[in-house]
Structures are given as C-alpha cells and as structure tokens.
Amino acid sequence: MALAARDSTVLAGGPSWEVPLGRRDSLGASLSGSNQNIPAPNNTFQTILTKFKLKGLDIVDFVTLSGSHTIGNARCTSFRQRLYNNTGNGQPDFSLDQSYAAKLRQNCPRTGGDQNLFFLDPVSPTKFDNSYYKNLIAKRGLLSSDEILFTQNQQTMEFVKQYAENQELFFQQFAKSMIKMGNITPLTGKSGQIRKVCRKVKS
C-alpha cells in the first residue's frame, strides 16, 4: 500500500520518496479504529491536530499531508453543512467563496444527493501540485478541515502561504511527512502478511 501511495503520487506529477522495505500488510481492518484515529471533515482544528500528535505527527505534517487533497473526491455529506447551515442558524459558511458555494449547491441540495462526488481540488483535480493551498487562500477549500488551515491558526496559515508560493518546498516536505507517517507502528517480521492481491487478505 505504501508503494502504491508513492507511485500514484509520482504518476500524478508529485514527489517521490524512499519507502522502507520489510513492511507487511494487516490481516484485518477496523472501521471503529479508522473513525477514531482518522480526522473527520468536520472536526475542529484542535481535534485534528491532537489526532496527528497522538501518532507522532506535528503541525507541519498536519498542513503538509492535508495537501494530498489536491487529488480526490468528497461526497456531498462531507461539506453540506458549509453550504446551508454552518453555524446552526441557517446561514452558509462565509469562509467559503460564495460563487463557488453556489456551484456546489447545484449538485449538493439541502437534502439528497448524498452520493454525489465533488473534486477536492476544482482547479487541477488529477494533478498532484500545490493548487490545494492556492484554493485555501481563495476560499475554495472544500472541506471544513481544509479551510481551518487558513482561518483558525496563524502558524498553519503561514505554511499554507509558503506552499502556495513554492511548490518545491511543499513537495520536499510532503516526502518527509509521508516517510514519517509510514513509520507509525509498521508491521514487520512475522506480523501481518505479504499479499499478492492488495485488496484481499491471503487465506
């Protein structure tokens, strides 16, 4: 999986990094573990940062790894509250560019459309680049967990500006942060298994 993440990033125009060998695949997956440990799109800034820190990742990793959202999709349910009722008073989220929000509302109605997919990066959705950070500055970060990087903390705001101006700086740190994340409790030795088909546990 680590090799696939690296190679797909490179194929999309992003950086490469050395993936340590000897890693093995898990024998199972935990939905509750994922929900507990992986940040949700509506988590607060402090909640997300705490989840990163509990895994040995810092605020630089938080901003940098969020840049992976330059590729991918999100369902309407992940950001609907920003379009219609962000604060509980029926008002939209004004930290989101309102012309962009109007386009999103066309396919993300107040009810329904839950399975509709939207590009996390409306500018270059299939290219790994630094447009994610430019989008944040332009108030076009799709998820609340994206937007807070530019509006909730001075330190992360500065990192966003730096990455928006310097793609190479982002690429260099992204490679470092991916290696760091790959070193979180890896399975080695006799733990786990080596799969020939990544999506299936070997019987």
Report the CATH number that the domain containing residue 30 is assigned in CATH: 1.10.420.10
Where does a domain end: 119, 150, 179?
Answer: 119
Residues 180 and 111 in one domain: no
- Answer yes or no: do 60 and 135 share one domain: yes
Whether residue 83 contacts residue 105, with contact meaning beta carbons closer than 8 Å, is answered with yes
| 169/134 same-domain check | yes
Q: Judge if 59 and 135 occupy the same domain.
A: yes
CA–CA separation, 33 vs 54, rounded Å? Answer: 13
Same domain, yes or no, for 162 and 181?
yes
Tokens of 117: 């997919």
46 is in which domain, residue-wise? 1-72+125-203
CA distances from 93 to 81, 137, 141, 161 (A): 8, 15, 12, 22
Least confident of 46-60, 108-122, 138-152: 108-122
Instruction: Please tell me whether residues 64 and 90 are part of one structural domain.
Output: no
Average pLDDT, the chain: 90
Residue range 130-141: mean pLDDT, rounded:
97
4 pLDDT exceeds 90? no
Report the distance separating Cα 75 and Cα 183, nearest Å. 30
The pLDDT value recorded for residue 34 is: 72
Residues whose CB is less than 8 angstroms from the CB of residue 179 and which lie 6 or more positions away in sequence, other chains included: 17, 18, 19, 20
**39 with 129, same domain?**
yes
pTM of the model: 0.90
Tell me what pLDDT residue 86 has. 67
Look at residues 54, 86, 119 and tell me which one is the last residue of a structural domain: 119
| In a shared domain, residues 81 and 155 | no
DSSP type of residue 78:
G
Residue 139 pLDDT exceeds 90: yes
Residue 52: per-residue pLDDT: 96
Both tokens of 187, joined, read 């399975």
- 66, 150: one domain: yes
Token pair in block for residue 115? 């399975």
The per-residue b/e assignment along 73-108, b for 16 or more CB within 10 angstroms, e otherwise, is ebebebbbbbbbebeeeeebbebbeeebbeebbeeb
Shared domain for 9 and 79, answered yes or no, is no
- CA distances (Å), 36 to each of 43, 50, 61, 163, 203, in order? 11, 12, 19, 29, 28
Alpha-carbon gap, residue 148 to 133, rounded angstroms: 12
Does residue 189 share a domain with residue 132?
yes
The whole-number pLDDT of residue 119 equals 94
Domain shared by 78 and 68, yes or no: no
Distance CA 72, CA 41 (A): 14
